[in-house]
Structure 1
Amino acid sequence: MSTTFQISEGERIFITHGIDVNIRSDGRSCMDYRNILIEQNVNETCNGSAHARSGNTDVLVGIKLELEEGNNSSQDCEWDGKSGRVQIFADISAIASPSFEGRKGEDVTCQLEALFAEFLPQYLDLEKLIVVPGKSYFVLHIDIVILECSSFSSLIDVTSIAIKTALFDVKIPKIVVLSVEHNEFNVSDDEFEYTQFDARKVPLVTSYTKIGSKFVIDATWEEEQASVGTISIAFLPPNEIVLMKKVRPGSISSDSFPSLYEMAIEFGKKLSAIFDKKIQENNLKNDGKITFSLN
Structure 2
Amino acid sequence: MVGLSAGERQFIYGGIAQDLRSDGRQRLQFRPISVQTGVIPQANGSARATMGATDVIASIKAELGKPAPLRPDKGKVSIFIDCSPTAAPVFEGRGGEELSAELSVGLQRCLLGGKSGAGAGIDLSSLIVVEGKVCWDLYIDGLVISSDGNLLDALAAAIKAALSNTGIPKVSVSVGASGEDQPEVDVSDEEFMQFDTSGVPVVVTLTKVGRHYIVDATLEEESQMSSAVSVSVNRHGRVCGLIKRGGTGLDPSVVLDMVSVAKHASETLIAVLDSEIASAEAIDDDDAI
TM bracket, shorter-chain basis: 0.7 to 0.9
Runs of 4+ residues deviating >6 angstroms: none
Match of 1:62 in 2: 59
Structure 1 residue corresponding to 2:270, chosen from 261, 269, 272: 272
Secondary structure of 2:43's aligned partner: coil
Unaligned runs of 5+ in 2: 113-119
Match of 1:186 in 2: 186
Cα 1:37–1:273, aligned 2, differ >3 Å: closer, same or farther?
closer
Secondary structure of 2:240's aligned partner: strand
Deviation at 1:86, TM superposition (A): 0.6
Deviation at 1:270, TM superposition (A): 2.1
Partners of 1:238 and 1:269 within 8 A in 2? no
Partners of 1:230 and 1:249 within 8 A in 2? no
Counterpart amino acid of 1:59?
V
Deviation at 1:253, TM superposition (A): 4.2
Counterpart amino acid of 1:166?
A
Deviation at 1:150, TM superposition (A): 2.7
Match of 2:115 in 1: none
Deviation at 1:83, TM superposition (A): 2.1
Is 1:175 aligned to residue 166 of structure 2?
Answer: no
Match of 2:97 in 1: 106
Deviation at 1:140, TM superposition (A): 0.5
Structure 2 residue corresponding to 1:159, chosen from 155, 160, 175: 155
Is 1:96 aligned to residue 94 of structure 2?
Answer: no
Match of 2:117 in 1: none
Unaligned runs of 5+ in 1: 71-75, 290-295
Partners of 1:282 and 1:288 within 8 A in 2? no
Counterpart amino acid of 2:53?
N
Cα 1:127–1:237, aligned 2, differ >3 Å: closer, same or farther?
same
Deviation at 1:202, TM superposition (A): 0.8
Secondary structure of 1:250's aligned partner: coil
Partners of 2:154 and 2:226 lie apart in 1 by 22
Counterpart amino acid of 1:165?
A
Higher mean alpha-carbon deviation, 231-240 vs 15-24, is at: 231-240
Partners of 1:143 and 1:89 lie apart in 2 by 5
State TM-score, norm by structure 1: 0.86
Partners of 1:67 and 1:136 within 8 A in 2? yes
Structure 1 residue corresponding to 2:217, chosen from 216, 219, 234: 219
After superposition, the C-alpha distances for 1:74-113 in whole angstroms (9 at most, x for unaligned) are xx64x53322111111111111111111121122111111
Cα 1:147–1:283, aligned 2, differ >3 Å: closer, same or farther?
closer
After superposition, the C-alpha distances for 1:114-144 in whole angstroms (9 at most, x for unaligned) are 1121242322222332233332221000011
Deviation at 1:67, TM superposition (A): 1.5
Partners of 1:175 and 1:185 within 8 A in 2? yes
Match of 1:205 in 2: 203
Match of 2:6 in 1: 9
Partners of 2:235 and 2:270 within 8 A in 1? yes
Secondary structure of 1:49's aligned partner: strand
Superposed counterparts of 1:12-161, under 5 Å: 12-69=9-66, 77=69, 80-121=71-112, 122-151=120-149, 154-161=150-157
Partners of 1:164 and 1:199 within 8 A in 2? yes
Residue correspondences, number:
276
